[in-house]
Amino acid sequence: MLRFIVRRLLQLIPILLGLSVLLFAWLRALPGGPAQAALGERATPEAIARYNELFGLDEPLIVQYLRFLGRAIRLDFGTSARTGRAVTTEFLERMPGTIELTLFAMIFAIGVGIPLGYLAARRHGSWLDSTSVIGSLLGVAIPVFFLAYLLRLGFAVELGWLPGSGRQDVRMDATRITNFYVLDGLLTREWDAAWDAVLHLILPAIALGTIPLAIIVRITRASVLDVVNEDYVRTANAKGLATSTVRRRHIIKNALLPVSTTIGLQTGLLLSGAVLTESVFAFGGVGSALYDALFARDFAILQGFILMLAIVYVLVNLLVDISYGLLDPRVRVR
Amino acid sequence: MTSVLGAPVLEVDDLSVTFQRKGEKPTRAVDGVSFSVAPGETVGLVGESGCGKSVTSLAIMGLLPSRGVKVGGSVRLEGQELIGAGSRKLRSLRGAHMAMVFQDPLSSLNPTVQIGTQVTEVLLEHRDMSKAEAAAEAVALLDRVGIPDPRRRLKEYPHQLSGGMRQRALIAMALACSPRLLIADEPTTALDVTIQAQILELLKELVVDTGTALVMITHDLGVVAGLCDRVHVMYSGKIIETADRHELFAQPRQPYTGGLLASVPRLDAGRGTPITPIRGSARDAIPWAEGCAFAPRCDNAQDDCLTEVSGSVVPLEPDGPGRELRCRHPLQYPTAPSGATALGAAR
Amino acid sequence: MGDVKRRRIDELAARAGQVPEGEGGVSLTRSAFRRLRRDPVAIIGAVIVVTFLVVALFAPWLAPRDPLAQTLLSQIRPGLIPGSQEGFPLGVDNLGRDLLSRLIYGSRQSLMIGVVSTVLGVAAGMALGIIAGAFGGWVDTVVMRFVDILLSIPGLLMAISISVLLGQNQYALMIAIAVTQVPIFARLLRGSMLVQRGSDYALAARALGIRKRRIVFGHVLPNSLSPVIVQATLSLATAIIEAAALSFLGLGDPDLARPEWGAMLANAQAFLSVRPELAVYPALCIIVVALGFTLLGESLREALDPKFRR
């Protein structure tokens, strides 16, 4: 198992290198080049020239790339033209919010999706089955940001049941330790702060989790339908095992294999969706920062955030691969 | 007749299975099948694929899906009626009193669960054992079915075992609670020839040692010759001939049985003797209600094989001591039977 | 990265070569088409798609008004946008333009973005896939590493990067969406070609002395296409939804002369509490069209791949 993990880690190196080349090239290809990217759109030609000289942008590309790579390894992506703060600091400060949001979204998607998909399969052909099939088709067809707006309009603006923006009530004056607001609240025993953060997470998490939910329902359903017809389930029944044992050990365990693959694939969608959802709910995570940076054409933020998000995505996929290896002994040996 | 060692373990009486899919007309996969198996006896159900032999076994075990399937008749295990019994009751019998070994050992084992767990779960379900006791028993079981180094194998997964090992493991699971009845559905079809022989030998030993009643489902006459005491030949959902193994090989009466035997190449047939296959395929069967289902492929068929002409469905009738036959124009033999003449007549 | 993601795509590819049992005599395409025609899901999907295509084609004849003409401006004031009335079945937008006409004309641009970006993505992806699948060896390794790198960037972030690079116009939008689809198609086709290349018939053809190029382009490639066709149909839906997302992020087509559902939806968010219909109708159009392509794609998959049938 350890060798499996090490091998996967080694495979990451060329991918990360390739990513850095792409993003380096991207910044070079931008109209105005990196100097303008760093100084902002209103930079004077003199300032640009000074910047170019200062950062050696007149040197050969390969030297420049190596320098960029050196800084990237130290997670130094320069400073934001808009706020003047280091990109990495900005990212690390905001990432906990996005992690909280994606976690809640995933908990929602998995917690509802797997049981629903399982029930739909076991009651194949029932109204529950058809409803979940139709629902899962609709779920992937709705633009995320529109759903987010609808939820906000309905439950926050009209009904006023849940907060519709931010990560926590500003009047909360909660103590910050990790920037995971829910976790901070629990650590400092400020229960009201934790609860308030949870309330703020509900609507964005539902909006963000809807696509994964739809996909998980569909895959679970199809997978359970496949597995119940497998020979080994018949064997389990022939052994006279209790229904609960057959269900847990022989049906669900195997049916979850393709589902776990899908869950890994969803992280990409979640990170993409977070940009849209967070900006609708002014959530203050990485996504809404990207949205703001996009409108401000804050290229340092864009470059650094995209690279770091890609790394997060790659790492999450690695985790999924490893957990897949734990679930399915056949993968481990390969 | 061979060893009847007491009251039969399994009595199947007029078993029928009908598949009814929505919007399609029902098909009868098994029709009026009756037979019984005594302790220590091995009974073969023989026929081509699609003749209903596997469906029969699943019906006995109560493993057919409840939706779209109608099972009729009676199946008694040690006197208890199984048809119509509750699912809880059936679950308590399956694995404990009756067990089954399937055709494809790889797909019949759960790929994500260790062999050990798959063996012990039967013990834990049906016998009052602790986990440690069950594990010890599992080692003994694997050892008994001839798996070397059983302690290590317990921790392994199905894909790490060879085909023969997997089938041995499945047999170990089936035998875990010393069932009175074991059904083996084509247990050797997916295996190499040398492994086939080993598995058959193992099954034979187990039957002798434990007195388990064995129902052997196969299309392979070699398996029948090596293992079975009595044989029921099935065609298109019905039993068409029943006989003692020796008699069946010596003097098959149903032309279908004769054809099956004749289509097996034999060493003693002499060079140049052609192998004679049966014409057509099992798909060419006609419904029994219209006549003998085998008639379209039969060399002996005559007009009265059809219900239209004879006025009645071909019945299964006694045919000498211990034999039964469903045929109006069976193969005939001179009074002193021998293998050679039987084959001659079959051609 | 994404070993699992890769595996998932390869799985789809591996399923491609399976011929349904008992249908050996009929060509795969024809038997697939026959199954499609009997599948109610496919019919619903096809009806939706064809309807919208017809609307897009005949937009100038179907639209009751000029989608750009600003009328009823006098009735518009903050907090009030006139709804349905005589001559304006769905009312007007915040600039007084007839909503129905804009929706009808919008189908042109939205479908065009979907189709063009998918065609571009499929073409580029297939080119890479064919190069990798046909040559094998180090070419395969290099191409696939590149594809893996592209796969490691979440789709929307990739589209954002490309859009920012190319500036704001409809072509940039199409290319940005296309690029996100390239790696998927490259992997899919290459995986599917590998399966076909290793199959017995390809081996038999080689044993008969048929030239490699002929085997690849005459047999392997045509037989590898079905998962690509399925994925392309599904991608049409994704592309239209993604276009809407990019519009929302301010990366859409700035040319107001071309109404487009995504841009209309993004624009309408500001008036959601005044007149939600402005957002609901374009959203419904997007949802229904996406649904149509998805239904069609899923039933295509089932028709082409017997194992997937449910």
pLDDT at position B76: 93
pLDDT at position A32: 67
Which of C171, C153, C151 has the alpha carbon at shortest distance from C251? Answer: C171
Ranking A161-170, B50-59, B172-181, B233-242 by mean pLDDT, the lowest is: A161-170
Over 80: is that where the pLDDT of A1 sits?
no
| Neighbouring chains to B with at least 3 Cβ pairs closer than 8 Å | A
Q: What is the mean pLDDT of chain C?
A: 79
Q: Say if the Cβ atoms of B122 and A239 lie within 8 Å.
A: yes
Report pTM.
Answer: 0.81
Which of B268, C161, C146, B91 has the alpha carbon at shortest distance from A299? Answer: C161
- Count CB neighbours of B206 within 10 A: 19
Residues C122-135 pLDDT 10s: 999 989 988 887 77
Mean pLDDT of B78-103: 90
Over 60: is that where the pLDDT of B343 sits?
no
Residues B196-226 pLDDT 10s: 888 888 888 888 888 899 999 998 888 888 8
Ranking A37-46, A277-286, A289-298 by mean pLDDT, the lowest is: A37-46
Q: Say if the Cβ atoms of C8 and A262 lie within 8 Å.
A: yes
Over 50: is that where the pLDDT of B86 sits?
yes
* Residue A317 pLDDT grade (very low, low, confident, very high; cuts 50, 70, 90): confident
Measured CA distances, B135 to A16, B94, B138, B150, B165 (Å): 47, 21, 5, 11, 18
AA letter at B320: G
Rounded CA gap, A216 and A196, in Å? Answer: 29
Q: Say if the Cβ atoms of B99 and A250 lie within 8 Å.
A: no
Q: At what angle do helices C3-15 and C170-197 cross, to 10 degrees?
A: 70
- Taking contacts as CB-CB distances below 8 angstroms, the residues of chain C near A302 are 160-161, 164
Question: Hey, is the C-beta of B126 within 8 angstroms of any chain A C-beta?
Answer: yes
Structure tokens that stand for A112 in this block: 């509802």
Over 70: is that where the pLDDT of A77 sits?
yes
Under an 8 Å CB criterion, which residues of A touch B? 230-232, 234-243, 245, 249-250, 253-254, 257, 327-330, 333
pLDDT at position A55: 66
CB A100 within 8 A of CB A201: yes
pLDDT at position B204: 87
Over 80: is that where the pLDDT of B74 sits?
yes
Backbone angles phi, psi at B138, to 5 degrees: -65, -40
Over 60: is that where the pLDDT of A199 sits?
yes
Rounded CA gap, C241 and A144, in Å? Answer: 9
- Count CB neighbours of A177 within 10 A: 11
**Is it the case that chain A and chain B have 3 or more CB pairs lying under 8 Å apart?**
yes
Over 50: is that where the pLDDT of C25 sits?
no
* Residue C97 pLDDT grade (very low, low, confident, very high; cuts 50, 70, 90): confident
* Chain A CA closest to residue C242: A143
Over 50: is that where the pLDDT of C20 sits?
no
Check residues C121 and A14 and name the one with the higher pLDDT: C121
Report all structural domains of chain A as residue ranges with CATH numbers, in order of start: 95-169+201-293+326-331 (1.10.3720.10)
Report all structural domains of chain C as residue ranges with CATH numbers, in order of start: 30-57+98-308 (1.10.3720.10)
Order across the sheet with B213-218: list the strands. Answer: B98-101, B181-185, B213-218, B42-46, B230-235, B238-244, B324-325, B317-318
Over 50: is that where the pLDDT of C10 sits?
yes
Query: Which residue in A157, A265, A272 has the most chain C C-beta atoms within 10 A of its own C-beta, making it the best mutation to test that interface?
Result: A272
A222 Cα to chain B: minimum distance (Å): 18
Measured CA distances, A282 to A185, A277, C264 (Å): 21, 8, 21
* Residue C301 pLDDT grade (very low, low, confident, very high; cuts 50, 70, 90): confident
Tell me the torsion sign for CA atoms C275, C281, C283, C284.
positive
- Taking contacts as CB-CB distances below 8 angstroms, the residues of chain A near C144 are none
Q: What is the mean pLDDT of chain A?
A: 83
B98 Cα to chain A: minimum distance (Å): 9
Q: Say if the Cβ atoms of B90 and A240 lie within 8 Å.
A: yes
- Taking contacts as CB-CB distances below 8 angstroms, the residues of chain A near B125 are 239-242, 245
Tell me the torsion sign for CA atoms C67, C70, C71, C77.
positive
* Residue C33 pLDDT grade (very low, low, confident, very high; cuts 50, 70, 90): confident
**Percent of chain C scoring above 70 in pLDDT:** 82
C205 Cα to chain A: minimum distance (Å): 31
Query: Which residue in C149, C181, C184 has the most chain A C-beta atoms within 10 A of its own C-beta, making it the best mutation to test that interface?
Result: C149
Q: What is the mean pLDDT of chain B?
A: 85
Structure tokens that stand for C242 in this block: 């993604």
Rounded CA gap, A137 and A217, in Å? Answer: 10
Of the candidates B121, B159, B160, the beta carbon closest to that of A239 is on B121
Q: At what angle do helices C261-268 and C277-304 cross, to 10 degrees?
A: 140
pLDDT at position C84: 67
* Residue B100 pLDDT grade (very low, low, confident, very high; cuts 50, 70, 90): very high
- What is the Cα B98 distance to its own chain's centre? 14
- Taking contacts as CB-CB distances below 8 angstroms, the residues of chain C near A306 are 153, 157, 160-161
* Residue B345 pLDDT grade (very low, low, confident, very high; cuts 50, 70, 90): very low
**ipTM computed for the complex:** 0.84
Coil vs helix vs strand at B270: coil
Of the candidates A137, A157, A294, the beta carbon closest to that of C160 is on A294
Rounded CA gap, C261 and C246, in Å? Answer: 12
Residues A249-270 pLDDT 10s: 899 888 888 888 778 777 778 8
Over 60: is that where the pLDDT of B2 sits?
no
Which of B184, B212, B202, B199 has the alpha carbon at shortest distance from B45? Answer: B184
Question: Hey, is the C-beta of B21 within 8 angstroms of any chain A C-beta?
Answer: no
Q: B130: number of CA atoms within 13 Å, CB side?
A: 2
Check residues A128 and B340 and name the one with the higher pLDDT: A128
**Percent of chain A scoring above 90 in pLDDT:** 13
| H/E stretch holding C247 | helix C221-248
Q: Let me know how long chain C is.
A: 310
CB A72 within 8 A of CB A64: no
* Chain A CA closest to residue C278: A146
- Taking contacts as CB-CB distances below 8 angstroms, the residues of chain A near B99 are 238-239
Give the DSSP letter string of B128-195.
---HHHHHHHHHHHHHHTT-SSHHHHHTS-GGGS-HHHHHHHHHHHHHTT--SEEEEESTTTTS-HHH
* Residue C3 pLDDT grade (very low, low, confident, very high; cuts 50, 70, 90): low
